[in-house]
Amino acid sequence: MRILSGIQPSGKLHIGNYFGMMRPALELQEQGEAFLFIADYHALTTVSDPEALRTGVRDVALDFLACGLNPEKTAFYRQSDVPEVTELSWLLSVVTPMGLLERCHSYKDKLAKGLEANHGLFAYPVLMAADILIVQSDVVPVGRDQKQHVEVTRDLAAKFNHAYGTVFKIPEPSIRDDVAVVPGIDGEKMSKSYGNTLEIFGNEGEIKKRVMRIVTDSRTLEEAKVPEECNVFKLFGLLATEAQQQELAEKYRAGGMGYGTAKKAFLELLTDYFRPMREKRAELEQHMDYVEEVLRKGAERARAEARTTLKAARRAIGLE
């Protein structure tokens, strides 16, 4: 089984990234042949500062290696180090119906949040399809909000295969319903673009402040509370054991506990969970030559697959 994941270097990685995409991807590297790329081409739709882009790529590489990525099991690479993907994106564009892209909710959501409309943002799903298809992926771990992009990929692969003969595998999304959407501190989906995140490797003092700002309802300390409706409890559940969740839920329902107590319990779990990864990241920062070597070797492995796929697509469409 071949597994493909990608993530944008458009800001500091947060626990929504970790539980929604990173951890499932890292778990799947034990189950098959894994490819993981840093989506720097995709990031150009929102990042205009060249230095910020370079720093973002560096940070993502450090973060993933610190969180447990094994370069012996996963081809880890920069998207821009595999130029075949952009040519394949154009070949897929000629079989992409406009209506398919116009229906993509990600584009509409970003416009609603005030991002400027441009072709890169609109055609994002086509480039994502090229990322997936260029290495002939079987499985793509995504958050539920990204499932539509995998469905678009499946549609484009099927259209291309129907028009020109079978070239691409039809990939399947892999979604963990329990962690597909992680709430931010404002209760909306945690997202860098919304400014509501809890960074994995951020300043501990700042993380504490942000945890204490998690939005809750107006119930008083004495009142009973509904754990299933509480953003703090939802975040706590990502880290806690079943017994810990049950204990805190009972305190919610009994009353006599303020939300501040729940926030402190969540902060303690959060700090303990990511402490070993923080230590590993600090060590890796002293060995950036190793990090670059991992990315170089990963790109070599990805390009070997990409060249084969692109050659087949070019031949099928009539360019060779």
Catalytic residues: 110, 189, 192
**Hey, which residues does 139 pair with through a beta bridge?**
3, 172
- Residue 69, CA distances (Å) to 83, 191, 232, 242, 306 in order: 23, 22, 28, 27, 22
Write the CA distances from 178 to 144, 202, 250, integer angstroms: 10, 25, 21
Amino acid at 229: E
How far apart, in whole angstroms, are the C-alpha atoms of residue 289 and residue 313? 35
Strand order in the sheet with 74-78: 74-78, 33-38, 2-7, 139-141, 172-174
* DSSP reduced 3-state for 216: coil
CA dihedral of residues 26, 31, 33, 35 (deg, nearest 10): -20
Q: How far apart are CA 145 and CA 293, in angstroms?
A: 33
Cβ atoms of 61 and 213 within 8 Å: the answer is no
Of 116, 146, 144, give the one whose Cα is nearest residue 132.
Answer: 146
Q: Token pair of 260, please?
A: 């501040």
What are 305's two structure tokens?
């697959």
- Per-residue DSSP letter, 203: -
